[in-house]
Structure 1
């Protein structure tokens, strides 16, 4: 008969652990308080998914312009740009989805995406398009602030679990 792994950080309940103490230890290590999704994660996921939708709309508009014969410098360069828009949009959809589920790698990916948005939002705002610039800057700053919130870090830094990777 095999025993469940013992966490050395937790004090032992006695010389021999019975079934009741095993159930109690499992309940303590997989409690529902740590599994609850913080609101910050939902906000960040929503911001990232809205950015993905905006990129998808930009790609659709770009493809429409490309198909209707809008002048471009090089056709294959325009196709490459369209491919980049679509790939980045799919990447953001994946980041938003897996961040909502609590995967560790998504915090860095979401931070990089928000920094890209800021590098476009500030010149947009200072170039005279204040509302579109603010529409990019405010959600990006909010997402960055939430990314470094204690609850979000704890939720997205979990290890192990019973669910599969995909």
Structure 2
């Protein structure tokens, strides 16, 4: 089994491109937002106005798992793995889809808060420096 690379670039590794740092920042902000929502759902479990305890527990667990996935993607992307690019791109596409109803509903500020970071998270994984940073080679073969 191959050793897991260090998150700190070594002497043979190029420094992390700004695109990687941008994607990681966006994913960390989304993880913080999901964590705050999870705490909110846990708080509603113990309030008197709870509509569904089971629904609140389910959403809290789902959001905690989402936070764990986002943090894992950030760690692996900083380490130079290429697999986090695809799930982060899918997440950003979902945020774009969720942003458009806010524009038609009359809340363009919320729509922009969802759309602008998602646009950066969609464009950055395809930039040449990010692709070069996340593609590893071992002699003549490309590795994950």
TM-score higher than 0.5: yes
- For residue 18 of structure 2, the aligned residue among 34, 39, 43 is 39
Let me know the Cα RMSD of the aligned residues: 1.8
Aligned length: 129
Greater CA deviation, 124-133 or 42-51? Answer: 124-133
Counterpart in 2 of 1:141? Answer: 119
Matched position secondary structure for 1:113:
helix
Query: Is the counterpart of residue 63 in structure 1 residue 42 in structure 2?
Result: yes
CA distance in 2, matches of 1:49, 1:81: 19
Matched position secondary structure for 2:81:
coil
Once the two structures are TM-superposed, the CA of residue 94 in structure 1 deviates from its matched residue by 1.0
TM alignment of 1:108-147, pairs within 5 A: 108-147=86-125
TM score, norm. by length of structure 2: 0.81
Counterpart in 1 of 2:3? Answer: none
CA distance in 2, matches of 1:132, 1:31: 43
CA distance in 2, matches of 1:130, 1:102: 36
CA distance in 1, matches of 2:86, 2:72: 13
- For residue 54 of structure 1, the aligned residue among 23, 33, 36 is 33
Matched position secondary structure for 2:50:
coil
Larger strand proportion of the pair: 2
Higher Cα radius of gyration: 1
Q: Which ranges of 4 or more aligned residues in structure 1 deviate by more than 3 Å?
A: none
Is the contact made by 2:14 and 2:133 (CA closer than 8 Å) also made in structure 1? yes
Once the two structures are TM-superposed, the CA of residue 158 in structure 1 deviates from its matched residue by 1.6
CA distance in 2, matches of 1:133, 1:49: 19
